[in-house]
């Protein structure tokens, strides 16, 4: 990255995007421009304590060619986090997912093509579908795509667009598919912060189905360090899977949250399962570790979870404005 000076981060006011901006400003001398539509999932408060001379915020839609051209014209590289990403919302209304994840990615790729901009695309392990609950199989870069929801289908489509623009037009792009993130600045509609904030509000956590679905958890700061490593050392046209060996069932996660917050491990409720709920995700990140030398800092989920719980305890001013609307959406879906 020695030749880079200006980095464009799409979706930089969202959860993993804002964590990445914090990480970049702490570990490099790059200037960051954040392009964010500032939907309900984007929050300028997530960037409030950053040095004002090190980053710029542009409010706009990645599907708008005008604002994308403006943002890309001064960027040496772009890291594309912006996405509609909540599975439940995609089941209720898929259209915004198509617009942002497909049309938005196309618009960015065309701008990167015009300007010769280095492009890194953030994707998800959900494009691979799911794995059996029993067994040791993990997703690898060679796993066939088998998305289950409108969200994961549109992310799979955006991955394919990136690959096509590399091969057809020579765009200098890489892709990373990451497992489930947790940590500061995550919207309270998501699994871990919803449970934490429900407990803080005196409500019992809620778990889909029997809670047996397994996710592979990674702290957002580890995701950020992996992306920075790929941006620096990744081979153009390659895909890298990012994971921290954090496989846990939803039930196990909720029990750990309850115990760490001083409640009985069984003080939760089971609710009707989500349609098309993937059974298990598991990431094999050997390629990233062996070829690029990356390692996670948060190898202990308990430690990362403890820090995350403390962050939500001490930042009620950040999450409180979101909480009522998020719970209203869940209530309307019977969850």
Sequence-distant (≥ 6) Cβ neighbours of residue 230 within 8 angstroms:
120, 174, 176, 240, 288, 292
Selected catalytic residue, list 36, 61, 84, 126: 126
Q: Is 126 a catalytic residue?
A: yes
End-to-end CA distance of the chain: 45
Q: Is 201 a catalytic residue?
A: no
Alpha carbon distance 208, 328 (integer Å): 17
Sequence-distant (≥ 6) Cβ neighbours of residue 314 within 8 angstroms:
none
Q: Is 95 a catalytic residue?
A: no
Say if CB 67 and CB 61 are below 8 A apart. yes
Locate 122 and state its tokens.
Answer: 């953030």
Cα–Cα nearest to 94, from 335, 241, 276, 250: 276
Q: Tell me which residue has tokens 């015009």.
A: 114
Selected catalytic residue, list 81, 106, 128, 151: 151
Say if CB 157 and CB 99 are below 8 A apart. no
Selected catalytic residue, list 125, 130, 159, 284: 125
- Cα angle value 214/258/223 (rounded, 5°): 50
Say if CB 212 and CB 257 are below 8 A apart. no
Residues in the chain: 335
Say if CB 267 and CB 204 are below 8 A apart. yes
Q: Strand 77-80 and strand 55-59: pairing?
A: unpaired
Residues assigned a catalytic role: 125-126, 151
């Amino acid at each position: 990255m020695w030749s880079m000076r200006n980095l464009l981060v799409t979706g930089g006011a969202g959860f993993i995007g804002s964590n990445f901006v914090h990480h970049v400003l702490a570990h490099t001398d790059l200037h960051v421009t954040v392009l964010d539509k500032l939907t309900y999932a984007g929050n300028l408060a997530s960037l409030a304590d950053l040095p004002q001379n090190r980053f710029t915020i542009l409010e706009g839609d990645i599907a708008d060619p005008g604002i994308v051209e403006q943002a890309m014209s001064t960027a040496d590289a772009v890291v594309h986090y912006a996405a509609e990403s909540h599975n439940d919302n995609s089941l209720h209304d898929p259209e915004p997912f198509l617009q942002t994840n497909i049309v938005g990615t196309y618009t960015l790729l065309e701008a990167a093509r015009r300007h010769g901009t280095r492009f890194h695309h953030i994707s998800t392990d959900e494009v691979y579908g799911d794995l059996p609950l029993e067994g040791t199989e993990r997703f690898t870069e060679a796993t066939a795509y088998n998305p289950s929801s409108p969200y994961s289908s549109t992310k799979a489509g955006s991955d394919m667009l990136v690959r096509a623009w590399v091969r057809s037009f020579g765009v200098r792009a890489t892709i990373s598919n990451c497992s489930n993130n947790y940590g500061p600045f995550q919207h309270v509609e998501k699994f871990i912060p919803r449970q934490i904030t429900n407990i803080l509000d005196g409500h019992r956590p809620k778990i889909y189905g029997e809670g047996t679905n397994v996710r592979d958890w990674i702290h957002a700061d580890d995701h950020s360090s992996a992306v920075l490593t790929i941006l620096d050392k990744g081979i153009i046209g390659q895909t890298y899977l990012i994971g921290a060996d954090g496989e846990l069932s939803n039930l196990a996660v909720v029990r750990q949250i309850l115990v760490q917050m001083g409640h009985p491990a069984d003080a939760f409720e089971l609710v009707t399962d989500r349609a098309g709920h993937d059974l298990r995700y598991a990431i094999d990140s050997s390629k990233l570790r062996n070829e690029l030398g990356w390692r996670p800092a948060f190898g202990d989920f308990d430690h990362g979870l403890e820090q995350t719980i403390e962050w939500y305890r001490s930042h009620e001013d950040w999450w409180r404005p979101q909480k009522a609307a998020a719970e209203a959406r869940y209530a309307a879906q019977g969850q």
